[in-house]
C-alpha cells in the first residue's frame, strides 16, 4: 500500500555491475522483467554462492516484483541457497534407487570424513553437505555431486579420494 | 435444470455449478477446505472427494473432486459410501500428521473448520508416530497473530490475499512438506483486508490478535446482528461480547453489501468501545468547571431545570442512528436542527443524494458494483474512504476474465484456470485522484489532478460521450472505455470536496444512459449514517455556521465532536452564544469537555439503531449486549430530554419501534427506516431469537465474585432478540436477526451455507436491509459552476485531503491495534516542492499552526499539498484552501522501528 515505505536495502547498490549486466542480458529477451527471476537468482548465486536477504530485496526491486513473490520462487527451488554455503556443495542423493543401493552409508561416510552433518559447512568453508532427491543418474546409483562434478557407483571406500582429490568424477 | 443422483437419490440442481456447492446447497454435508464460495475452486486439498460413476452399469466408479466436477444431467455420485468417505478420512489424517493438535490453546478452537472436518470425516485414531514440523512464526503487525504450525496448506490465504484482494506481501514460501505462508520478512501485513484471513483460513494460523490477548471461545460469545459504523458502506457485522467487553468483530453475510468480507478498519476499529475514555455516568459541570457525576434523580432534575420552557437547538450526527437523529430533530424542530456534518460536506451529501435520486443511471448495491465492466473513479482514494467498495472494484476488473472464460465455456468457479487464461487482462478502471491511490495497480489509467481539474476532466468526458466535444487526450480514452462497456460505473464522493465533481460524475452517467448503456452511478459517504442525515435534512436544516445567530438557549449535541466539523473559533463563538450545552456521547472528546451536562451514550454495540449507507440502504443494528453502568442508548436519552422539556409529541414512545410508528406518518423515508428489520413482536416458532449460542457457559460463574445466584437475564423489550441462550435459532431466521451462524457439525463461520438459499445467494430468512432512494422524490441539484483550472502559486500551496483507512475516522482510530497503525499526521509534497521549501522526508512542516511530518510523494500534483485528514492535528485544515508551509523548528524525527522491535513491543 502506498502508505507503506518499502524498505529498500540500505545499500541500494547491493547488486554488482557484473551481475546487473548479466541480468540485463536476460531481461533483453524476456516478455517482462519478473520473468527472469529464476535466471537472475542463479546469476547472483554464481557470483556469491548464495542469495542473501539484501540481494533478494535488491533483485526484487530491480525486477519490479514484490519481494514476497521472489522469495516464494527462491525458496521453492532447493538449489537456490538462501543461506551461506561452502565453496563446494556436496549433494548426496537419498532417493529410492540410491537408497536401495545403500546411500545411507555414503552420506554417513561423507559426514564422518568432513566432520559435518547434513546442512552444515566445514569450518574451513570448503564443503557444505546437503541431501538431494535424485540426481537423474539412477542407473549408476548411488550417486553424489561435489560442486559441478558428478560421481557414480559411489562406495564408502571411495569417499576420501573423492573429497580430497576429486578422483573418479564422471566425465561430461 | 440438471438432475443428478447422489447416494441413490435424485436431486435437481442449478445449472453450471460444481458438485460441491450443489451438495452444500442441498443441505448435504460434504467436507472441503480449499474451495471458498467467493473464490471458487482449485482442487488443491483433495478433501471434497466423491466417487463418480459413468452410468448405471459402472460399479467401480472413480474418485473425483466435487469442487472441480461440473454437475451434468444424469451424473451419478457416491458421497457417503466407504470408498469416498475412506478417502476423505485419509486426507484429513495426512493433514493432521503435521498438525500440532493444540486446540486447547488455539484461538480458532470451537469455531475451527479443521476440527469440524476432522470430526465429519470420522478420522479419530492417530497412526503417525514421527516428529512434527515446527515453524517459526512471524510478527505480522498489531492486528493479526501468526501460528504457522497449524497450517494444512489449503492455499486459501494467499488466494484471498493476493488473488482476491491484490495484496503483495504474503506468499507461499518453500516447497514440499515445508511450505510456509508468510511475509518475506517480519512486519505488518500491508493489505487493508488482511483481517479476513482470520475467517478465510480454515485453521488457527491467522487469528485476531486482540481476541488472542483477550480471549473468549465462540460458544461463550454473545453476539447480535450489527452494522459497521466506521464508514458509509455499511458492512454487516457480528460483534462478539463477553464480560461487557467487545472481543471481536466477524463478518455478517449480506449478499447485497459486504458478502463474505470486511475491511480492517471495520473488523478491528470497533474495539474503541472498550476504551478507557468511555463515559459511564451522567455528569454536570460544577462552579469550578469540574464534572460531577449525577444520580438518576439528580440527572432528571438537572434536565428539567435546564430544559423547561427553553428555546432549543440541536446538532445531530452522521455517526448516530437514524432514530436518535429523528427524535432530536422533532424535539428541537427541523428549522433548529443541524445534520451534524460540516456545512460543506452537508451540501455535498445533499447534492449526491439529489443526483442519485434523479439520475436515470442505476444506483448500485455493492454486489452490483462488482458487475461493472468499466469503472471511472473520480476523486476518491477508495481504499481509504470506502475500503470494501475498493475490494468490490478489484472484482469488477475481473469481468474481462469472466468474459474470456465464457467464450471458452469455462465455469466461473474454475478459479485457477480463469486466472491463468486472463493473466493481466482486466476490465478498464480509470482512477482520477489528487495523488496515487491504492487501486493504481489494477487501473488502466490514473490521472493525478487536484479537485478543480478533476471536475473539469469529468465535464469534458461527459461532453465527449454526449458527442458535443472531441479530444484525443485522457478524456477521450476514458470516454471510449466507458462507451465500449455494457455496464459502466461512475463512482465519486464527497472526499475531494468538490460539488462540480459530483455534477460531473452524474453528467457522465446520464450521458452513458443516453448512449444506451446500463450505466451505474454511485457516491461514497464518509460515515455510517451520512446518507441518513442527508435524507433526514432534505427539506429543512440549519447550517452549523448559522446556529450562532439563532436565539436558542439550549444546544443539544448528539454524538458529535464539533471540532471535527467547525473551525475552533466558530465552536468558541457558538459556545459563547448559547448558554447551555448538553452533550450525549460515548467517548470523551473536546465537545463534551465544553458541555454543561454530559449524558453517557451506549456505543454501537449497546444500542439499537438504523443506519443508512451510501446506497440509501436502511440497515438495522441491534445491541450485542446491554450497556453497563448508567450508559443508555441515545434515543432513550432523547426521550428523557423530551419529557424534561415538556414535549408532548414524543410522549407516546415507549420502546424503540414506536419511534418509527409514531413519527413516520406519510413520510416514505421514515416508514422505510421503521421497516428495515422485523419489529420487537417478531417471533420465530413462537420464541425470541437468542444472542447466545446454546453452549454458552458460565452465566452464574461469570459474576460469582459479586453473587453466586444466577442473575435474571436482561429483558430486551425493544427487539425480537434475547440476551439469552434460550429461544429459537433456526437457520431460516430473517437475515436482519442473524445473531450468530452455527449449525450442527459446523461450528465455524463456514456453517453459513446452511443459512443460504443457494451458495452465495440470498439468506433463507431473506432481509438485507431496505433500499430507500428508489421510492423518494428529491429536488434536482442546481449545477455548480465549473471551477477555474488549477495553476500553482509561488508561495502558497493548495491543500488536498488524504484519507487514511487507519486514522481518518474518528472512533475506529482508537480500536485496539489500530492506534499503532495510524502514524503521525503527515503532509505530502512533491519532492521538488519539498526541496524548494528546504524540507526532506521525515522533517516537520508547519501549516496553519499544525506541525506535520513531511512525506515525499512524486504523485502529488506540484503546487498542491496532501494532508492526513481527520487527525486531531489536522482538524483545522480544509481541502481547497491555500496555505503557507514553514519548516517546523524543534521537530523530533520519528525513530525507525524494524519489524522485530515492534514484535517485541507487542
Ligand atoms: S495458513 Fe491457513 S489458509 Fe493458508 S494454507 Fe495454511 S491452513 Fe490454508
Ligand atoms: S468498508 Fe466501511 S463499513 Fe465496511 S467494514 Fe470497512 S469501515 Fe466498515
Ligand atoms: S535415485 Fe539417486 S540419482 Fe536417482
Ligand atoms: S475443496 Fe475440493 S479439493 Fe479442496
Per-residue pLDDT, B767: 80
**Contact call for residues B739 and B224 (beta carbons, < 8 A):** yes
Inter-chain CB proximity A1 and B174 less than 8 Å: no
Which of A3, A71, A78 lies closest to B171 in CB terms?
A: A71
Whole-number percent of chain B with pLDDT over 90: 92
Average pLDDT over residues B726-731: 92
Tell me whether residue B791 is exposed, middle or buried, using C-beta atoms within 10 angstroms of its C-beta: 0 to 12, 13 to 18, 19 or more: exposed
Per-residue pLDDT, B38: 97
Which of A1, A72, A77 lies closest to B172 in CB terms?
A: A72
Closest chain B residue to A69 measured between Cα atoms? B171
Contact residues of ligand 1, CB 6 A cut-off: B 151-157, 181, 201-203, 205
Average pLDDT over residues A107-122: 96
B3-96 is classed CATH 3.10.20.740: yes
Residue A12 has pLDDT above 90, yes or no: no
Residue B905 has pLDDT above 90, yes or no: no
The tens digit of pLDDT for each residue in B267-287 reads 999 999 999 999 999 999 988
Residue A1 has pLDDT above 50, yes or no: no
B890/chain A closest Cα distance in angstroms: 24
CA–centroid distance, residue B227 to ligand 2 (Å): 9
Residue A2 has pLDDT above 80, yes or no: no
Architecture of the B359-525 domain: 3-Layer(aba) Sandwich (3.40)
The closest ligand to the CA of A100 turns out to be 3
CA–centroid distance, residue B92 to ligand 1 (Å): 14
Average pLDDT over residues B283-306: 94
Q: Is A41 in the pocket of ligand 3 (CB under 6 A)?
A: no
CA distance B592 to B581: 9
Per-residue pLDDT, A3: 34
Q: Which of B502-540 are b and which e, b meaning 16 or more Cβ less than 10 Å from the residue's Cβ?
A: bbbbbbbbbbbbeeebbbbbbbbbbbbbbbbbbbbbbee
Q: In three state form, how does the secondary structure of B705-717 look? A: CCCCCCCCCCCCC
Per-residue pLDDT, B721: 97
Q: Comparing A38 with B629, which gets the higher pLDDT?
A: A38
Average pLDDT over residues B747-774: 93
The closest ligand to the CA of B34 turns out to be 4
CA distance B446 to B434: 10
A84 and chain B: CB distance < 8 Å anywhere?
Answer: no
Closest chain A residue to B179 measured between Cα atoms? A76
Kindly state the helix (H) or strand (E) to which residue B266 belongs, with its residue range: helix B264-269
Q: Binning pLDDT at 50, 70 and 90, where does residue A7 land?
A: very low
Per-residue pLDDT, B896: 65
Q: How many A×B Cβ pairs under 8 Å?
A: 47
B178 and chain A: CB distance < 8 Å anywhere?
Answer: no
Domain residue ranges in chain B? 3-96, 359-525, 797-905
Per-residue pLDDT, B58: 94
Average pLDDT over residues B66-74: 97
Average pLDDT over residues B164-193: 96
Tell me whether residue B825 is exposed, middle or buried, using C-beta atoms within 10 angstroms of its C-beta: 0 to 12, 13 to 18, 19 or more: buried
CA distance B675 to B613: 15
Place of cell 466408479: B61
Q: Is B44 in the pocket of ligand 4 (CB under 6 A)?
A: yes
Inter-chain CB proximity A76 and B175 less than 8 Å: yes
Residue B876 has pLDDT above 50, yes or no: yes
Inter-chain CB proximity B173 and A72 less than 8 Å: yes
Bridge pairing between strands B580-585 and B554-558: parallel
A54 and chain B: CB distance < 8 Å anywhere?
Answer: no
Residue B901 has pLDDT above 80, yes or no: no
CA–centroid distance, residue B598 to ligand 1 (Å): 48
List, as own/partner pairs, every contact residues A67-71 make where C-beta atoms lie below 8 angstroms and the sequence separation is at least 24, other chains included. Answer: A67/B169, A67/B184, A67/B185, A68/B168, A68/B169, A68/B170, A68/B171, A68/B173, A68/B183, A68/B184, A69/A34, A69/B168, A69/B171, A70/A37, A70/A41, A70/B184, A71/B171, A71/B173, A71/B184
Which of B263, B369, B525 should be mutated for ligand 2, with most atoms under 8 A from CB? B263
Q: Is A97 in the pocket of ligand 3 (CB under 6 A)?
A: yes
Closest chain B residue to A57 measured between Cα atoms? B184
Inter-chain CB proximity B436 and A2 less than 8 Å: yes
Q: Is B45 in the pocket of ligand 4 (CB under 6 A)?
A: yes
Per-residue pLDDT, B526: 97
CA distance B517 to B353: 22
Lowest mean pLDDT among A80-89, B122-131, B158-167, B541-550: B122-131
Average pLDDT over residues B49-72: 96
CA distance B595 to B796: 37
B807 and chain A: CB distance < 8 Å anywhere?
Answer: no
Which of A2, A70, A75 lies closest to B174 in CB terms?
A: A75
Q: Is B35 in the pocket of ligand 4 (CB under 6 A)?
A: yes
Inter-chain CB proximity B169 and A66 less than 8 Å: yes
A53 and chain B: CB distance < 8 Å anywhere?
Answer: yes
Per-residue pLDDT, B898: 52
The complex scores an ipTM of 0.89
DSSP sequence for B44-76? -S-TTEEEEESSTT-SS-EEEEGGG-B--TT-E
DSSP sequence for B400-462? HHHHHHHHTT--TTBHHHHHHHHTT----EEEEESS--TTGGG-SEEEE--HHHHHHHHHHHH
Q: Is A137 in the pocket of ligand 3 (CB under 6 A)?
A: yes
Distances (CA, A) of B740 to B388, B690, B749: 22, 9, 9
CA distance A45 to A52: 9
Chain A residues 4-23 with CB within 8 Å of chain B: 4
B192 and chain A: CB distance < 8 Å anywhere?
Answer: yes
Per-residue pLDDT, B897: 56
Architecture of the B797-905 domain: Beta Barrel (2.40)
Nearest CA to ligand 1 atom 2: B201
A33/chain B closest Cα distance in angstroms: 15
Per-residue pLDDT, B903: 47
Per-residue pLDDT, B600: 98
Q: Is B392 in the pocket of ligand 4 (CB under 6 A)?
A: no
CA distance B6 to B9: 5
A68 and chain B: CB distance < 8 Å anywhere?
Answer: yes
| DSSP state for residue B362 in the 8-state scheme | B
Per-residue pLDDT, A11: 46
Per-residue pLDDT, A129: 97
Residue B561 has pLDDT above 60, yes or no: yes
CA–centroid distance, residue B397 to ligand 2 (Å): 21
CA–centroid distance, residue A22 to ligand 1 (Å): 37
Average pLDDT of chain B, as a whole number: 95
Closest chain B residue to A81 measured between Cα atoms? B174
Domains of chain A: 17-76 (1.10.10), 88-165 (3.40.30.10)
Inter-chain CB proximity A67 and B185 less than 8 Å: yes
Closest chain B residue to A72 measured between Cα atoms? B173
Best interface-test mutation with B: which of A68, A78, A80 has the largest number of B CBs within 10 A?
A68
CA distance B65 to B429: 36
Residues of B in contact with A71 (CB under 8 A): 171, 173, 184
Average pLDDT of chain A, as a whole number: 91
Per-residue pLDDT, B295: 96
Evaluate if pTM is beyond 0.80: yes
Hey, how many other C-beta atoms are within 10 angstroms of the C-beta on B288?
6
A69 and chain B: CB distance < 8 Å anywhere?
Answer: yes
The tens digit of pLDDT for each residue in B106-154 reads 999 999 999 999 999 999 888 999 999 999 999 999 999 999 999 999 9
Q: Binning pLDDT at 50, 70 and 90, where does residue B604 land?
A: very high
Inter-chain CB proximity A71 and B438 less than 8 Å: no
Average pLDDT over residues B366-383: 97
Inter-chain CB proximity A1 and B437 less than 8 Å: no
Average pLDDT over residues B287-314: 95
Amino acid at each position: 500500500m502506498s502508505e507503506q515505505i518499502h524498505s529498500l536495502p540500505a545499500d541500494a547498490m547491493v547488486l554488482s555491475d557484473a551481475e546487473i549486466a548479466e541480468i540485463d542480458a536476460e531481461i533483453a529477451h524476456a516478455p517482462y522483467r519478473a520473468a527472469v527471476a529464476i535466471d537472475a537468482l542463479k546469476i547472483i548465486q554464481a557470483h556469491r554462492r548464495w542469495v542473501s536477504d539484501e540481494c533478494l530485496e535488491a533483485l526484487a526491486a530491480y525486477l519490479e516484483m514484490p519481494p514476497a513473490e521472489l522469495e516464494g520462487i527462491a525458496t521453492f527451488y532447493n538449489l537456490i541457497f538462501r543461506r551461506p554455503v561452502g565453496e563446494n556443495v556436496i549433494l548426496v542423493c537419498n532417493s529410492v534407487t540410491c537408497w536401495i543401493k545403500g546411500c545411507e552409508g555414503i552420506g554417513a561416510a561423507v559426514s564422518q570424513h568432513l566432520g559435518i552433518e547434513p546442512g552444515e559447512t566445514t569450518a574451513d568453508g570448503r564443503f557444505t553437505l546437503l541431501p538431494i532427491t535424485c540426481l537423474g543418474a539412477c542407473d549408476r546409483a548411488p550417486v553424489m555431486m561435489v560442486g559441478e562434478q558428478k560421481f557414480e557407483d559411489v562406495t564408502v571406500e571411495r569417499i576420501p579420494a573423492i573429497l580430497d582429490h576429486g578422483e573418479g568424477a564422471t566425465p561430461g | 435444470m440438471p438432475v443428478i443422483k447422489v447416494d441413490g437419490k435424485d436431486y435437481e440442481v442449478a445449472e453450471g455449478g460444481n458438485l460441491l456447492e450443489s451438495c452444500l446447497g442441498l443441505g448435504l454435508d460434504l467436507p472441503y477446505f480449499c474451495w471458498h464460495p467467493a473464490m471458487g475452486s482449485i482442487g488443491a486439498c483433495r478433501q471434497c472427494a466423491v466417487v463418480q460413476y459413468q452410468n448405471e452399469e459402472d460399479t467401480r466408479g472413480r474418485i473425483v473432486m466435487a469442487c472441480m466436477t461440473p454437475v451434468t444431467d444424469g451424473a451419478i455420485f457416491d458421497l457417503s459410501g466407504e470408498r469416498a468417505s475412506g478417502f476423505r478420512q485419509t486426507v484429513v489424517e495426512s493433514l493432521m500428521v503435521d498438525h500440532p493438535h493444540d486446540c486447547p490453546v488455539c484461538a480458532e478452537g470451537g469455531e475451527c473448520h479443521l476440527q469440524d472436518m476432522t470430526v465429519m470425516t470420522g478420522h479419530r485414531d492417530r497412526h503417525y508416530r514421527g516428529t512434527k514440523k515446527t515453524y517459526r512464526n512471524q510478527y505480522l503487525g498489531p492486528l493479526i497473530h501468526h501460528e504457522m504450525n497449524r497450517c494444512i496448506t489449503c492455499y486459501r490465504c494467499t488466494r484471498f490475499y493476493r488473488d482476491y484482494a491484490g495484496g503483495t506481501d504474503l506468499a507461499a514460501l518453500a516447497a514440499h512438506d515445508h511450505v510456509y505462508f508468510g511475509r518475506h520478512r517480519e512486519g505488518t501485513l500491508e493489505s487493508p483486508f488482511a483481517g479476513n484471513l482470520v475467517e478465510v483460513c480454515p485453521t488457527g494460523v491467522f487469528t485476531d490478535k486482540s481476541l488472542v490477548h483477550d480471549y473468549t471461545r465462540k460458544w461463550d460469545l454473545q453476539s447480535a446482528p450489527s452494522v459497521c459504523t466506521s464508514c458509509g458502506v455499511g458492512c454487516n457485522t457480528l460483534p462478539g461480547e463477553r464480560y461487557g467487553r467487545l472481543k471481536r468483530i466477524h463478518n455478517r453475510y449480506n449478499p447485497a453489501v459486504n458478502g463474505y468480507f470486511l475491511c480492517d478498519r471495520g473488523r478491528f476499529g470497533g474495539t474503541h468501545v472498550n476504551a478507557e475514555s468511555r463515559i459511564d455516568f451522567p455528569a454536570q459541570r460544577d462552579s469550578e468547571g469540574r464534572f460531577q457525576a449525577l444520580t438518576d434523580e439528580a440527572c432528571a432534575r438537572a434536565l428539567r431545570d435546564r430544559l423547561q420552557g427553553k428555546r432549543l437547538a440541536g446538532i445531530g450526527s452522521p455517526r448516530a442512528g437514524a432514530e436518535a437523529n429523528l427524535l432530536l430533530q422533532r424535539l428541537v424542530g427541523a428549522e433548529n436542527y443541524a445534520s451534524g456534518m460540516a456545512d460543506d460536506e452537508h451540501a455535498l451529501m445533499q447534492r449526491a443524494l439529489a443526483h442519485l435520486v434523479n439520475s436515470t443511471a442505476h444506483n448500485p448495491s455493492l454486489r452490483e458494483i462488482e458487475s461493472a465492466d468499466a469503472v471511472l473513479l473520480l476523486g476518491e482514494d477508495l481504499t481509504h474512504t470506502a475500503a470494501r467498495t475498493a475490494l468490490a472494484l478489484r472484482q469488477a476488473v475481473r469481468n474481462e476474465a469472466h468474459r474470456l472464460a465464457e467464450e471458452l465455456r469455462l465455469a466461473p468457479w474454475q478459479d485457477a484456470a480463469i486466472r491463468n487464461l486472463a493473466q493481466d487482462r482486466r476490465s478498464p478502471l480509470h482512477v482520477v485522484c489528487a495523488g496515487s491511490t491504492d487501486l493504481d495497480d489494477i487501473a488502466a489509467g490514473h490521472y493525478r489532478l487536484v479537485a478543480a481539474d478533476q471536475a473539469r476532466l469529468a465535464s469534458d468526458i461527459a461532453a465527449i460521450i454526449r458527442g458535443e466535444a472531441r479530444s484525443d487526450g485522457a478524456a477521450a480514452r476514458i470516454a471510449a472505455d466507458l462507451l465500449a462497456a455494457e455496464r459502466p460505473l461512475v463512482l465519486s464522493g464527497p472526499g475531494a470536496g468538490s460539488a462540480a465533481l459530483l455534477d460531473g460524475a452524474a453528467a457522465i452517467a446520464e450521458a452513458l444512459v443516453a448512449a444506451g448503456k446500463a450505466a451505474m452511478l454511485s457516491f461514497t459517504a464518509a460515515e455510517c449514517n451520512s446518507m441518513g442525515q442527508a435524507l433526514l435534512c432534505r427539506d429543512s436544516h440549519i447550517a452549523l455556521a448559522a446556529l450562532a445567530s439563532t436565539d436558542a438557549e439550549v444546544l443539544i449535541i448528539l454524538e458529535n465532536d464539533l471540532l471535527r466539523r467547525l473551525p475552533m473559533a466558530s465552536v468558541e463563538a457558538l459556545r459563547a452564544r448559547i448558554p447551555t450545552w448538553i452533550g450525549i456521547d460515548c467517548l470523551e472528546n473536546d465537545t463534551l469537555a465544553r458541555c454543561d451536562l454530559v449524558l453517557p451514550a451506549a456505543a454501537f454495540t449497546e444500542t439499537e439503531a438504523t443506519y443508512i449507507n451510501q446506497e440509501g440502504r436502511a440497515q438495522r443494528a441491534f445491541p450485542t449486549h446491554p450497556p453497563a453502568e448508567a450508559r443508555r442508548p441515545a434515543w432513550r436519552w432523547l426521550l428523557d430530554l423530551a419529557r424534561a422539556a415538556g414535549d408532548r409529541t414524543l410522549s407516546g414512545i415507549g420502546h424503540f419501534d414506536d419511534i418509527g410508528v409514531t413519527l413516520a406518518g406519510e413520510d416514505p423515508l421514515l416508514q422505510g427506516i421503521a421497516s428495515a428489520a422485523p419489529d420487537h413482536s417478531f417471533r420465530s416458532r413462537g420464541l425470541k431469537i437468542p444472542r447466545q449460542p446454546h453452549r454458552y457457559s458460565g452465566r452464574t460463574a461469570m459474576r460469582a465474585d459479586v453473587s453466586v445466584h444466577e442473575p435474571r437475564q436482561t429483558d430486551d423489550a425493544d427487539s425480537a432478540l434475547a440476551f439469552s441462550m434460550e429461544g429459537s435459532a433456526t437457520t431460516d431466521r430473517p437475515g436482519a436477526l442473524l445473531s450468530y451462524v452455527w449449525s450442527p457439525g459446523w461450528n465455524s463461520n463456514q456453517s453459513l451455507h446452511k443459512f443460504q438459499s443457494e451458495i452465495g445467494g440470498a439468506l433463507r430468512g431473506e432481509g438485507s436491509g431496505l433500499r430507500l432512494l428508489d421510492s423518494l422524490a428529491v429536488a434536482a441539484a442546481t449545477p455548480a459552476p465549473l471551477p477555474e483550472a488549477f495553476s500553482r502559486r509561488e508561495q502558497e500551496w493548495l491543500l488536498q485531503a488524504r484519507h487514511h483507512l487507519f486514522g481518518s475516522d474518528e472512533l475506529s482510530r482508537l480500536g485496539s491495534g489500530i492506534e499503532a497503525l495510524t502514524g503521525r499526521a503527515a503532509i505530502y509534497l512533491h519532492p521538488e516542492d519539498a526541496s524548494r521549501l528546504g524540507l526532506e522526508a521525515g522533517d516537520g512542516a508547519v501549516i496553519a499552526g499544525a506541525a506535520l511530518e513531511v512525506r515525499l510523494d512524486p504523485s502529488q500534483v506540484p503546487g498542491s499539498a496532501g494532508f492526513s485528514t481527520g487527525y486531531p492535528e489536522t482538524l483545522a485544515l480544509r481541502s481547497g484552501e491555500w496555505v503557507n508551509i514553514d519548516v517546523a523548528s524543534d521537530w523530533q524525527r520519528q525513530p525507525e522501528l524494524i519489524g522485530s522491535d515492534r514484535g517485541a513491543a507487542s
